[in-house]
């Protein structure tokens, strides 16, 4: 199954100069976990997640109203084409330990595909499970202990 058949085409995006506060409001309003950050030409510049806002802005004790998205977004994010197979999307998610991928066509964001989208697809059950396992791997590792006495 192609990514085109699974992706969400209703993309909510933000520009690099907008505030982290606006990004947080958009994420909450649209019940999203990530926003593609696009330039005026529609080209992808990065991605900003709810976690980016918390860890790179709020936890750093900076004012979300004054911090532009460009300062907290992730750059060089993994992307996929709408013609790619869903299994490739799952592979990329697992390798990059991400739950969402921007879908690019002719350099423009035309959709987003999430791990949840893959999980809804019967043909992608195994790939989605493998990707989730890879993404969750670091979360479930026990902390390392120091030398014993």
Show pLDDT as tens, one digit a residue, over the chain (149 residues). Answer: 899 999 999 999 999 999 999 999 999 999 999 999 999 888 999 999 999 999 999 999 999 999 999 999 999 899 999 999 988 998 898 888 888 999 999 989 999 999 888 887 755 555 545 555 554 555 444 444 444 33
d(CA 147, CA 149): 7
What is the value of pTM for the model shown?
A: 0.79
Looking at residue 16, what is its pLDDT? 97
Distance between CA atoms of 51 and 92, rounded to whole angstroms? Answer: 20
Q: How many residues appear in the chain? A: 149
Residues 6+ apart with CB under 8 A from 146: none
| pLDDT tens sequence across 14-28 | 999 999 999 999 999
Are the C-beta atoms of 64 and 54 separated by less than 8 Å? no
| Spatial contact of 126 and 88, defined as CB atoms under 8 Å apart | no
Would you call 23 helix, strand, or coil by DSSP?
helix
Distances (CA, A) of 96 to 42, 77, 104, 128, 132: 24, 8, 17, 14, 11
């Amino acid at each position: 199954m192609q990514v085109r058949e699974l992706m969400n085409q209703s993309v909510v995006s933000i520009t690099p100069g907008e505030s982290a506060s606006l990004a947080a409001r958009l994420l909450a309003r649209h019940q999203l976990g990530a926003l593609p950050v696009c330039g005026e030409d529609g080209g992808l510049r990065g991605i900003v997640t709810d976690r980016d806002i918390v860890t790179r802005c709020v936890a750093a004790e900076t004012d979300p109203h004054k911090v532009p998205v460009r300062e907290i977004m992730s750059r060089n994010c993994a992307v996929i084409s709408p013609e790619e197979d869903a299994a490739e999307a799952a592979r990329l998610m697992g390798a990059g330990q991400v739950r969402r991928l921007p879908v690019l066509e002719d350099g423009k964001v035309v959709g987003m595909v999430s791990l949840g989208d893959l999980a809804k697809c019967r043909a992608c059950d195994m790939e989605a499970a493998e990707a989730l396992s890879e993404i969750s791997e670091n979360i479930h590792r026990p902390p390392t202990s120091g030398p014993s006495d």
